[in-house]
């Protein structure tokens, strides 16, 4: 399998996992809430596949793609969302609160950024050479604590890559209603070199992240990567206020899967598709049959 | 020179930094020669320069940074200069720090101690004098500790702090009190008039957090049980001593050092004997520690409990003027007056 095919498969796994979640929500298999990253798969795969084995990932409410790109088990993620004992966190966390190896997520905006700084400083202190990547969205740029974190990351030279997935919409609020000034300048103000990419090409994101991570590792200092991206699905489940035409146009122009499919042979695309279909189906059905999580402690 | 609570805490920090190089101290203005706004960190940066990190004024961010350090194997200690500023770390404490261990299905540890001084009586006014610990009690996954000004048995404020830093794998909010800092540590000798009984909550398996039970030596059985923590415990002890020697009113005083999670068992048999409890705290009265303990006692003791009284601050901000602040916060005279009534 070529690297292109490999990345395509990883993105397709995320896409099909999340499409399955949204479909099955309607049938009542899942409860509570979820946040999908359909359209943003190139960010997860392009960035996370460049990490070294000891590197650390901090992620947010929209974390399924990051978990799967990191090598997390699809059945355990399904099971976590279904509230099964076999879930990543035994059903305690659900869709947006997971911990697996060196990946940590939490559902409140902003707070994971200083935590990422602290982790990077701890690894530096331990001389482990691990670096940290933290994923935030454009909406989180409204949270004050991240600027405290940027300041400390730069001040103390934390080996940290801050990835802003700017999908141009925070829940239902377009970025232009919520954000003043320029995203890159925010980082520059703290002395953090920032690169901005306008692409849904996983290969382009991968190449640039590889270079940035090398700088983070070699210079022991923070970098920022701003990924201008598009979300095709709702913020959560049924809360998309954009018209179908608008979303269809975004998909036509920015679909990371379509971009990749144009570069691959149709035989290889169809073989990867059927492989992923089988994996998703098997993972879903296994998780569905797993035992439901039980609460202990009430006398 | 007498050892003060401040000295003891300072020694506890220094011992912890010395014992384990993964212990790191962070906070605002903690570098020598200043050594922290209340001097608890005095000497630390000189002796352990690699483990002491002076910080910007970024409480929320710092709580997150230290949480990240703790999740990756260090043992950070964060000083929040005034307890009032814990409002700035509430998101980290409640939605991040206290949740990670349980939410991640016990797959991580988070050995973090956040120290901060609460309390008034120094004229600092509404935003530098509060006792806000009740905001953080009852938060699952967060332990709230409060030292007493005793050095009895193996425990002192500094030893409790040191053991917590070195041995606890869960987050702790360590509440100090500004008025306590300069109090001399009371020892078995200076407590000669008292019988001091050390108890432990059965869930405190390593017996790290003593509960002090004080009664007047050789006195007849107590008429009222008092429970208080922090500086109010010292006010209660003074009142207890005075009433015993001047008015022959005898009481028992129970001083916990772990406020949350709170266990009732060690109090229960004492309160069952007197049937009367006075609960004292420096924070505002409503919906606080006293309300919780009073309810627990009522639930558990039923009609063996005859009387519950609470003494706490009035429901206003802490005023700056000395006369106003004195009227707002509970005083020793208020404790004495209540005990006279309750014992009658």
How far, in Å, CA of B279 to CA of A244, rounded? 63
A32 part of a folded domain? yes
Domain count, chain A: 1
Q: What is the DSSP letter of B99?
A: T
Q: Which candidate in A114, A294, A297 is best for mutational testing of the B interface (most B CBs within 10 A)?
A: A114
Mean pLDDT on A186-202: 98
**Strand residue runs (E) in A117-262:** 132-137, 160-166, 169-170, 173-174, 194-198, 223-228
Four-residue CA torsion sign, B3, B9, B11, B15:
positive
Q: Which of residues 72-111 of B touch A (CB under 8 A)?
A: 72-74, 76, 91-92, 95-96, 99-100, 102-105, 107-108
CATH code assigned to B194-343: 3.40.50.920
A188 part of a folded domain? no
**Chain A residues inside the 8 Å CB shell of B53:** 156
**Chain B residues inside the 8 Å CB shell of A120:** 68
pLDDT tens-digit series, residues B10-65: 999 999 999 999 999 999 999 999 999 999 999 999 999 999 999 999 999 999 99
**Chain A residues inside the 8 Å CB shell of B104:** 89, 92-93, 97-99, 104
Is A140 at the interface with chain B, CB within 8 A?
no
pLDDT tens-digit series, residues A276-287: 999 999 999 999
Mean pLDDT on A53-78: 97
**Chain B residues inside the 8 Å CB shell of A191:** none
Q: Look at B71 and A119 and tell me if their CB atoms are within 8 Å.
A: yes
Q: How far is A65 from chain B (nearest CA, A)?
A: 18
Tokens of A118: 């602290």
Q: Look at B68 and A121 and tell me if their CB atoms are within 8 Å.
A: yes
pLDDT of residue A237: 87
How far, in Å, CA of B16 to CA of B158, rounded? 10
Whether the Cβ atoms of residue B67 and residue A115 lie closer than 8 Å to each other: yes
Q: Which of residues 11-30 of B touch A (CB under 8 A)?
A: 24
How far, in Å, CA of B237 to CA of B336, rounded? 10
pLDDT of residue B342: 98
Pairing of strands A103-105, A99-100: antiparallel
Q: Look at A114 and B64 and tell me if their CB atoms are within 8 Å.
A: yes
From residue B226, alpha-carbon distances to A87, B147, B254, B310, B335 in Å are 48, 17, 6, 10, 9
Q: Out of A93, A108, A122, whose CB is closest to B69?
A: A122
For residue A149, what are the contacts with CB-CB under 8 A and spacing of at least 6?
A113, A114, A116, A117, B61, B64, B65
Is A121 at the interface with chain B, CB within 8 A?
yes
pLDDT of residue A297: 84
pLDDT tens-digit series, residues B141-157: 999 999 999 999 999 99
pLDDT of residue A31: 86
Whether the Cβ atoms of residue B257 and residue B211 lie closer than 8 Å to each other: yes
Extents of the domains making up chain B: 5-177, 194-343
Average pLDDT, chain B: 97
Q: In chain A, whose CA is at the least distance from the CA of B51? A: A125
Same fold? B5-177, B194-343: yes
Whether the Cβ atoms of residue A196 and residue A138 lie closer than 8 Å to each other: no
Is A83 at the interface with chain B, CB within 8 A?
no
Q: Look at B96 and A108 and tell me if their CB atoms are within 8 Å.
A: yes
Instruction: Report helix, strand or coil for A62.
Output: coil
Q: What share of chain A has pLDDT > 70, as a percent?
A: 100
Could you tell me the residue range of the domain that residue A234 belongs to? Answer: 3-173+193-288
How far, in Å, CA of A190 to CA of A167, rounded? 23
Q: Out of A110, A122, A152, whose CB is closest to B58?
A: A152
pLDDT tens-digit series, residues B211-269: 999 999 999 999 999 999 999 999 999 999 999 999 999 999 999 999 999 988 888 99
Is B60 at the interface with chain A, CB within 8 A?
yes
A202 part of a folded domain? yes
A293 part of a folded domain? no
Q: In chain A, whose CA is at the least distance from the CA of B53? A: A156
Length of chain A: 299
Question: Which DSSP string do the residues of A248-290 spell out, in sequence order?
Answer: HHHHHHH-HHHHHHTTS-HHHHHHHHHHHHHHHHHHHHHHHHS
A129 part of a folded domain? yes
* Cα atoms in the Cβ-side hemisphere of radius 13 Å centred on A202: 30
Q: Look at B108 and A125 and tell me if their CB atoms are within 8 Å.
A: no
Q: Which ranges of chain B would DSSP assign to H, the alpha helix?
A: 5-19, 44-47, 59-71, 90-91, 100-103, 157-167, 231-247, 265-274, 289-301, 322-328, 332-343
How far, in Å, CA of B328 to CA of B311, rounded? 11
Question: Is the pLDDT confidence value at B1 over 90?
Answer: no
pLDDT tens-digit series, residues A97-132: 999 999 999 999 999 999 999 999 999 999 999 999
Instruction: Specify burial of residue B326 (Cβ count, 10 A radius: 0-12, 13-18, 19+).
Output: middle
Is A39 at the interface with chain B, CB within 8 A?
no
From residue A247, alpha-carbon distances to A38, B48, B339 in Å are 11, 57, 72
Q: Out of B53, B60, B72, whose CB is closest to A145?
A: B60
Q: What share of chain B has pLDDT > 90, as a percent?
A: 97
Q: In chain B, whose CA is at the least distance from the CA of A117? A: B65
**Chain B residues inside the 8 Å CB shell of A110:** 91
Is B34 at the interface with chain A, CB within 8 A?
no
How far, in Å, CA of B315 to CA of A83, rounded? 44
A186 part of a folded domain? no
Chain centre to alpha carbon of residue A270: 25
pLDDT tens-digit series, residues B97-124: 999 999 999 999 999 999 999 999 999 9
| CATH value of B5-177 in 2.60.120.380, 3.40.50.970, 3.40.50.300, 3.10.310.70 | 3.40.50.970
**Chain A residues inside the 8 Å CB shell of B107:** 89, 99
Whether the Cβ atoms of residue A202 and residue A46 lie closer than 8 Å to each other: yes
Tokens of B143: 């332990």
ipTM of the complex: 0.96
Nearest to A134 by CA among A219, A51, A210, A204: A51
Q: Look at A104 and B71 and tell me if their CB atoms are within 8 Å.
A: yes
A180 part of a folded domain? no
A250 part of a folded domain? yes
pLDDT tens-digit series, residues A138-148: 999 999 999 99
Mean pLDDT on A1-29: 96
Is A225 at the interface with chain B, CB within 8 A?
no
**CATH code, domain with A258:** 3.40.50.970
Nearest to A241 by CA among A178, A144, A170: A170
**Chain A residues inside the 8 Å CB shell of B100:** 99, 104
Q: Look at A151 and B108 and tell me if their CB atoms are within 8 Å.
A: no
Pairing of strands B194-199, B211-216: antiparallel
Q: What is the largest CA-CA distance in chain A?
A: 61
Q: Which of residues 259-278 of A touch B (CB under 8 A)?
A: none
For residue B303, what are the contacts with CB-CB under 8 A and spacing of at least 6?
none
Question: Is the pLDDT confidence value at A298 over 90?
Answer: no
pLDDT tens-digit series, residues A161-176: 999 999 999 999 999 9
Average pLDDT, chain A: 96
What are the backbone angles phi and psi of residue B133, rounded to the nearest 5°? Answer: -60, -25
pLDDT of residue A206: 98
* Edge-to-edge strand ranges of the sheet holding B258-260: B52-54, B23-27, B75-79, B113-118, B172-177, B143-145, B258-260
Residue A239 pLDDT level (bands cut at 50, 70, 90): confident
Q: Out of A110, A119, A148, whose CB is closest to B58?
A: A148
* Edge-to-edge strand ranges of the sheet holding A132-137: A99-100, A103-105, A56-59, A132-137, A160-166, A223-228, A194-198
**Chain B residues inside the 8 Å CB shell of A155:** 56
Residue B6 pLDDT level (bands cut at 50, 70, 90): very high
């Amino acid at each position: 399998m070529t690297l292109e095919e490999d990345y395509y498969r990883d993105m397709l796994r995320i896409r099909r996992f999340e499409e399955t979640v949204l479909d099955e929500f309607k049938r009542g298999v899942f409860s509570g809430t979820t946040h999908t990253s359909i359209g943003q798969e190139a960010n997860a795969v392009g960035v996370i596949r460049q990490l070294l084995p000891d590197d650390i990932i901090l992620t947010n409410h929209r974390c399924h793609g990051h978990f799967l790109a990191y090598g997390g088990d699809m059945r355990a993620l399904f099971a976590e969302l279904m509230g099964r004992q076999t879930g990543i966190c035994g059903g305690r966390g659900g869709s947006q609160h997971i911990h697996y190896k060196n990946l940590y997520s939490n559902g409140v905006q902003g707070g994971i950024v200083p935590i990422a700084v602290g982790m990077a400083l701890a690894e530096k202190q331990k001389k482990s050479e691990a670096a940290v990547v933290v994923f935030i969205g454009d909406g989180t740029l409204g949270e004050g604590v991240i600027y405290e974190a940027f300041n400390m990351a730069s001040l103390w030279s934390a080996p940290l890559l801050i990835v802003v997935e700017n999908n141009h919409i925070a829940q239902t609020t377009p970025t232009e209603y919520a954000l003043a000034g320029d995203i890159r300048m925010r980082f520059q103000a703290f002395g953090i070199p920032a690169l901005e990419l306008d692409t849904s090409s996983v290969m382009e994101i991968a190449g640039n992240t590889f270079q940035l991570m090398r700088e983070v590792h070699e210079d022991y200092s923070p970098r920022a990567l701003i990924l201008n991206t598009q979300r095709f699905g709702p913020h959560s489940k049924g809360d998309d206020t954009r018209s179908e035409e608008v979303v269809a146009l975004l998909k036509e122009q920015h679909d990371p899967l379509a971009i990749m499919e144009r570069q691959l042979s149709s035989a290889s695309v169809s073989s990867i598709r059927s492989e992923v279909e089988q994996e998703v189906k098997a993972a879903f059905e296994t998780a569905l049959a797993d035992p439901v999580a039980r609460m202990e402690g009430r006398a | 020179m007498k050892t003060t609570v401040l000295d003891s805490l300072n020694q506890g920090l220094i011992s912890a930094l010395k014992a384990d190089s993964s212990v790191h101290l962070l906070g605002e203005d903690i570098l020598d020669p200043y050594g922290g706004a209340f001097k608890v960190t005095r000497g630390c940066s000189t002796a352990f320069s690699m483990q002491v990190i002076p910080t910007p004024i970024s409480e929320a961010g710092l709580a997150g940074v230290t949480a990240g350090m703790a999740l990756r194997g260090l043992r950070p200690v964060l000083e929040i200069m005034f307890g009032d500023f814990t409002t700035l770390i509430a998101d980290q404490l409640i939605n991040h720090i206290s949740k990670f261990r349980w939410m991640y299905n016990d797959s991580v540890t988070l050995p973090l101690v956040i120290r901060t001084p609460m309390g008034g009586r120094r004229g600092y006014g509404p935003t530098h004098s509060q006792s806000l610990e009740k905001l953080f009690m009852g938060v699952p996954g967060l332990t709230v500790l409060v030292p007493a000004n005793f050095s009895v048995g193996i425990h002192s404020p500094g030893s409790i702090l040191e053991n917590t830093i070195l041995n606890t794998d869960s987050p702790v909010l360590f509440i100090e009190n500004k008025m306590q800092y300069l109090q001399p540590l009371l020892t078995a000798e200076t407590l000669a008039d008292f019988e001091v009984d050390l108890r432990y909550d059965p869930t405190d398996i390593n017996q790290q957090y003593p509960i002090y039970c004080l009664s007047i030596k050789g006195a007849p059985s107590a008429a009222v049980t008092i429970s208080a923590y922090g500086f109010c415990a010292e006010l209660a002890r003074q009142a207890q001593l005075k009433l015993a020697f001047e008015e022959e009113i005898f009481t028992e005083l129970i001083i916990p050092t772990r406020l949350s999670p709170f266990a009732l068992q060690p109090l229960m048999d004492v309160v069952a004997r007197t049937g009367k409890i006075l609960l004292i705290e420096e924070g505002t009265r409503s919906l606080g520690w006293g309300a919780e303990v009073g309810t627990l006692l009522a639930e558990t003791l039923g009609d063996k409990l005859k009387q519950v009284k609470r003494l706490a601050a009035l429901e206003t901000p802490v005023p700056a003027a000395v006369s106003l602040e004195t009227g707002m916060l509970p005083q020793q005279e208020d404790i004495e007056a209540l005990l006279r009534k309750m014992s009658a």
